[in-house]
């Protein structure tokens, strides 16, 4: 396909065959899960070439900077601020790649999703089709896709009794939201491509609700980080839970989500979709009470959750882990209370930085969900290193190809 000169785009430098192998591209790599995946991939003894493409709709360059202020990647060569709704970006960045970890998509809390159903579906379809089509055109041998438990039929999640749904119960399809539909379309398309070409290596990890440090927590974000934000902001913001609080989720810590994604790449290619979750149901009521307890112990604030008894989305589902165990030998490691505490401390520190004005300050807490990270308390600040300056320069640079987000901004009171 003929293209304008995309190489002129800073950071959007394609692989060349002489780049060290494995040559990996992470789409959505400046986002929440994507940035943790990048960090894990780069752990020693890493010796390949890794690139990120992200239009920074929700991702942030500072997610790709280590606690000492050093960029994890060369921002001028390996971090493409590009929009995957533009096929030429996808085509350029998948050239000579050996594995695509495809995480870029429009993701948000239920209030955001249900306020942007049409545009979200449209964008995600474009992103997924472009990325997969480009990977196929460039003969990328392996493609890993982060699917979602939101694609399960709503009828299977319509009451509060706990259900664990096996992977093959996806059809007849009836996800509750266009987000679930768009992600399902991605799975379906990948399945067709794999059936058409048995040599094409496809991995599908169907994630449950991922949380942890670096999860977006502002208005429009997912339930758990939104609850933590409300607790920290209280009383300026009420500590209100959407719905009855009886709805439940399978909350998966981001460290575990990343280990599941990597396990799929290692042992789960061409084995069909594999769910990753803890298999445990946590009601929003329980989660809210745990968050309130943390607010009491860490911030000396006392309050109880209230419930708006309004729309709450699916009543719930937890992962059926049969395939994850049998095929991957994988199991989540981070307990809910340990993960929640680390996430709470991270958001607390981020909000403290925001309140002080981010300039000149950088948290010492590295944002990992590890116990080491949890051990470091909030409120420690160091001088910002060169990487943060690099990130700032890049994010303030005009990016003409930035157009990936929905038309509406994040709505208020979302969780
Ligand atoms: N977080 C969860 O609970 C969860 C659960 C199941 C599946 N997933 C899937 O995991 C993946 C990562 O989710 P996340 O929670 O890290 O969300 P995220 O929003 O933090 O990450 C998605 C990234 O994609 C980028 N992006 C959006 N539109 C783009 C475009 N047009 N071009 C290039 N980049 C674009 C965003 O800027 C963001 O950095 C998504 O595919 C999501 O569907 C997430």
φ, ψ for residue 146, nearest 5 deg: -95, 95
Let me know if residue 412 belongs to a domain: no
Q: Burial of 322 by CB count in 10 Å (0-12 exposed, 13-18 middle, 19+ buried)?
A: middle
Residues flanking ligand 1, CB < 6 Å: 28, 30-34, 53-59, 83-85, 103-107, 127, 146, 148, 183, 207, 209-210, 222, 404
Distance of alpha carbon 413 from alpha carbon 174, whole angstroms = 26
Token representation of residue 398: 């005009």
In a domain, 413, yes or no: no
Contact present, 407 and 107 (Cβ < 8 Å): no
CA–centroid distance, residue 104 to ligand 1 (Å): 5
Q: Do the beta carbons of residue 77 and residue 13 sit within 8 Å?
A: yes
Tell me the pLDDT tens digit for each residue of 47-94. 999 999 999 999 999 999 998 999 999 999 999 999 999 999 999 999
- Which ligand 1 atom sits nearest the alpha carbon of residue 252? 3
* CATH number, domain with residue 96: 3.40.50.720
User: Ligand 1 center to residue 68 CA distance, Å?
Assistant: 26
User: How many CA atoms, within 13 angstroms, populate the side-chain half-sphere of residue 238?
Assistant: 10
Q: Is residue 325 part of a domain?
A: yes
- pLDDT > 90? residue 396: no
User: Pairing between strand 164-165 and 142-148?
Assistant: unpaired
Domain annotation covers residue 5: no
Task: Indicate the length of the chain as a whole number.
Answer: 415
Q: Residue 409 falls within a domain, yes or no?
A: no
Peptide bond connecting 129 to the previous residue in cis, omega within 30 degrees of 0: no
Distance 5 CA to ligand 1 centre (A): 27
pLDDT tens per residue across span 140-192: 999 999 999 999 999 999 999 999 999 999 999 999 999 999 999 999 999 99
Q: Taking the CA of residue 410 as centre, how many other CA atoms within 13 Å lie in the half-sphere pointing to its CB? A: 18
Cα–ligand 1 centroid distance for 296 (angstroms): 32
Confidence of residue 376 (pLDDT cuts 50, 70, 90): very low
Q: Which atom of ligand 1 is nearest to the CA of 63?
A: 39
- 205 pairs with which residues across the strands? 146, 274
The range of the structural domain enclosing residue 329 comes to: 12-396
Ligand 1 pocket test, candidate residues 11, 36, 38, 58, most atoms within 8 A of CB = 58
Determine, yes or no, domain membership for 178: yes
What distance in Å separates the CA atoms of residue 160 and residue 298, rounded to the nearest whole number? Answer: 32
Q: Which atom of ligand 1 is nearest to the CA of 58?
A: 37
227 CA to centre of ligand 1 in angstroms: 20
Catalogue the E-assigned strands of 324-408: 362-363, 381-382
Give the range among 141-150, 247-256, 297-306, 363-372 with minimum mean pLDDT. 363-372
**Closest CA to ligand 1's atom 11:** 103
Q: What string of DSSP letters covers 174-220?
A: --SSHHHHHHHHHHHHHHHHHHH-TTSEEEEEEE-EEESTT---STT
Domain count, the chain: 1
Q: Is residue 6 part of a domain?
A: no
- Ligand 1 geometric centre to CA of 35 (Å): 10
CA dist 232 to 181, 344, 347, 379, Å? 34, 9, 8, 14
% of the chain exceeding 70 in pLDDT = 84
- Predicted confidence at residue 39, as pLDDT, reads 98
109 DSSP 8-state letter: -
Distance 399 CA to ligand 1 centre (A): 19
The C-alpha atoms of residue 351 and residue 345 are separated, in whole angstroms, by 10
Q: Which ligand 1 atom sits closest to the C-alpha of 405?
A: 28
The ligand 1 atom at the shortest distance from the C-alpha of residue 56 is: 37
Residue 244 Cα to ligand 1 middle (Å): 27
Nearest protein Cα to ligand 1, atom 40: 103
- CA of residue 287 to ligand 1 center, whole Å: 23
Atom 23 (ligand 1): residue with closest C-alpha? 28
In the structure encoding, which two tokens stand for residue 223, read together?
Answer: 């339930």
Q: Please state the atom number of ligand 1 nearest to the C-alpha of residue 126.
A: 31
Q: Could you tell me the distance, in angstroms and rounded to a whole number, from the CA of residue 85 to the centre of ligand 1?
A: 14
- Indicate the helix (H) or strand (E) that contains 280: none
User: In this predicted model, what pLDDT tens digit does every residue of 217-268 receive, in sequence order?
Assistant: 998 889 999 999 999 999 999 999 999 999 999 999 999 999 999 999 999 9
Q: Name the residue among 383, 387, 403 with its Cα closest to residue 75.
A: 387
Q: Look at the block and give the residue holding tokens 């009451």.
A: 159
In a domain, 4, yes or no: no
């Amino acid at each position: 396909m003929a293209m304008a000169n995309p190489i002129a785009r800073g950071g959007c430098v394609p692989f060349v065959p002489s780049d060290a192998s494995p040559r990996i591209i992470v789409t959505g790599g400046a986002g929440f899960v994507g940035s943790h995946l990048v960090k894990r991939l780069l752990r020693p003894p890493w010796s390949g070439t890794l690139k990120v493409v992200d239009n920074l709709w929700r991702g942030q360059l500072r997610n790709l900077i280590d606690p000492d202020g050093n960029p994890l990647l060369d921002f001028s060569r390996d971090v493409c601020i590009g929009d995957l709704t533009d096929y030429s970006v996808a085509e350029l960045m998948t050239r000579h790649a050996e594995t695509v970890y495809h995480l870029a998509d429009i993701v948000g809390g239920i209030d955001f999703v249900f306020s942007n159903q049409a545009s979200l579906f449209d964008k995600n379809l474009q992103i997924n089709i472009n990325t997969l089509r480009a990977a196929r055109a460039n003969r990328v041998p392996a493609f890993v896709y982060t699917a979602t438990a939101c694609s399960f039929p709503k009828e299977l999640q319509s009451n509060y009794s706990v259900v664990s749904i096996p992977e093959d119960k996806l059809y007849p399809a009836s996800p509750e939201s266009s987000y679930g539909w768009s992600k399902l379309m991605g799975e379906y398309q990948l399945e067709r491509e794999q059936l058409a070409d048995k040599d094409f290596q496809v991995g599908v990890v169907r994630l449950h609700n991922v949380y942890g440090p670096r999860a977006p927590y502002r208005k429009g974000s997912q339930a758990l980080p939104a609850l933590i934000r409300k607790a920290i902001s209280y009383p300026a913001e009420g500590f209100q839970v959407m719905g009855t609080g009886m709805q439940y989720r399978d909350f998966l810590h981001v460290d575990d989500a990343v280990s599941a994604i990597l396990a799929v790449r290692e042992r789960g290619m061409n084995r069909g979709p594999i769910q990753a979750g803890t298999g445990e149901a946590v009601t929003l009521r329980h989660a809210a009470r745990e968050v309130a307890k943390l607010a009491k112990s860490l911030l000396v604030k006392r309050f109880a959750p209230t419930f708006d008894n309004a729309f709450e989305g699916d009543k719930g589902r937890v992962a059926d882990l049969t395939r994850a165990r049998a095929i991957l030998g994988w199991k989540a490691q981070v307990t809910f209370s340990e993960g929640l505490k680390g996430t709470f401390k991270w958001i607390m520190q981020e909000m403290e930085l925001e309140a002080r004005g981010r300039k000149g300050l950088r948290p010492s807490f590295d944002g990992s969900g590890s116990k080491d990270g949890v051990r470091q308390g909030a409120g420690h600040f160091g001088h910002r290193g060169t990487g943060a300056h690099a990130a700032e320069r890049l994010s303030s640079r005009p990016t003409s190809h930035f157009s990936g987000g929905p038309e509406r901004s994040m709505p208020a009171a979302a969780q």
